[in-house]
Each structure stands twice: as structure tokens, then as C-alpha cells.
Amino acid sequence: TTPAGATHKNSYGDDIEAVVISERQIRDRTAELAAAVATRYPAAEDDLLLIGVLKGAMMFMTDFARALPIPCQMEFMAVSSYGSATSSSGVVRILKDLDRDIADRDVVIVEDIIDSGLTLSWLMKNLRTRHPRSLEVCTLLRKPDAVRNVVEVADVGFDIPNEFVVGYGLDYAERYRDLPYIGRLRRSVYQD
Ligand code: XMP
Ligand code: MG
């Protein structure tokens, strides 16, 4: 079955209970976010530098970059936060670092989801030591717990309830990243 609001990709059976954010909602909101971010860099000397956090942010990163009305460059980092498959501990390890220096650059971290905020606050602290000219965060999704670990996030696409979601880059055990929408994963899939 395909959940209401979903288009194709029904081969995951009924693992996806509901579409939380549709393809169209993602597309429309991404355009708004990109426009909002661009207004803050009206006369930048260098291209804006987007840093995408692999793998979850990959879909949002590429759509965001295409929607951005100003030139940007793209870098990727991969980090792993120790913890269970569905929550993080805040202890972070860099799996893939940036390829270049970000000193004196205007940097926007592009994130898929902020849950506890622990991963992001670690990442911001780490990137600040490299002396970017500016550093801000644009995240597609934010869960309610994020408010407890105050990380200043400039732009949020959608505030979502505290449920495990997958799709549009987000995975459970590496699956479902390829879904073009954000869906709620059936509990029985991740609970034994
Ligand atoms: P924290 O808690 O540090 O964690 O903000 C952010 C990371 O946790 C993962 N995460 C999720 N992944 N569906 C996912 O597929 C979710 O609902 C979810 N909530 C948190 C994700 O890797 C994110 O970068
Ligand atoms: Mg993950």
C-alpha cells in the first residue's frame, strides 16, 4: 500500500504508517528557506559555503542548493554520534572531515533533523574553532527535545512531533532514505 499523499515507491509495504511531510510541502518550504537564507548574504564577497551532514542531509542539501538564489559551494562532513539507532548520545566522532578550510567564509550547516541537538551543538563548537566569518544552521526538521539544548538555529523547515521519521535522506538501519517524502515509521519495524 502507498500512504495517502505519497506518489510512487510503495515497495516498502506498510512500513510507512503515514506521510508526515509530502514532496510538495518539502519543495515549497525549501524554496522559502532558501530565499530567507539568501537575504542574509546580500553582498557576500565569496560564495556561501553549505556544509551538509552526511548521510541524512543529502537530499535536503541538494534541493536547498538548487533553490538558493545566490551562488553557493558545497562541502560534506560525516559524523557518527554514539547511541542507539533511534537516539544520540552527544559523543561525536568525525568519519569524514571537510576537504577545505572554512576560515573567513560564510558557512551554513545544512541539517536534516535536530532531535536532542547534541550532534549539532558539538558540530558548531568544532566548526567555530576553524574561524568561519559566520556560521548558521538551516535544518529541515526539528523535534521538540531540541529546545532543551539551546542551539541557535536560524531556519527550521518544519517542527514535528517526537516520532521516528524516515525518508528524504533519513534512515532506519540505512533503509528508506530514498523515499521522496518524510514518513512515520511503523513502530513494529524498530521495536522488537
Ligand atoms: P541529535 O539528537 O543529536 O540527533 O539532535 C540528530 C541525529 O539523530 C538522528 N535522528 C533521526 N533519524 N529519524 C531518523 O532517521 C528520526 O526521526 C530521527 N531523529 C533523530 C539523525 O541521524 C540526526 O542527524
Ligand atoms: Mg541515521
Residue 148: which CATH number?
A: 3.40.50.2020
Asked if pLDDT for residue 2 goes beyond 80, the answer is no
Per DSSP, what are the bridge partners of residue 92?
A: 81
The bridge status of strand 155-159 relative to strand 48-54 is unpaired
Distance 146 CA to ligand 1 centre (A): 11
For residue 59, being part of any structural domain is answered with yes
Residue nearest to atom 22 of ligand 1 (CA): 56
Distance 9 CA to ligand 1 centre (A): 23
- What's the total number of domains in the chain? 1
The values of phi and psi at residue 94, to 5°, are: -85, 120
User: Which residues lie below 8 Å from residue 14, measured CB to CB, with a gap of 6+?
Assistant: 1, 186
pLDDT value, residue 174: 95
Separation of alpha carbons 182 and 166, rounded Å = 6
Q: Report the amino acid identity of residue 115.
A: D
For residue 54, being part of any structural domain is answered with yes
CB 134 within 8 A of CB 15: no
ipTM: 0.91
Separation of alpha carbons 21 and 158, rounded Å = 9
Q: What domain range includes position 129?
A: 24-160
Quick one: average pLDDT of 95-114?
96
Structure-block grid coordinates of residue 97: 572531515
For the chain, state the CA radius of gyration: 17
Asked if pLDDT for residue 39 goes beyond 90, the answer is yes
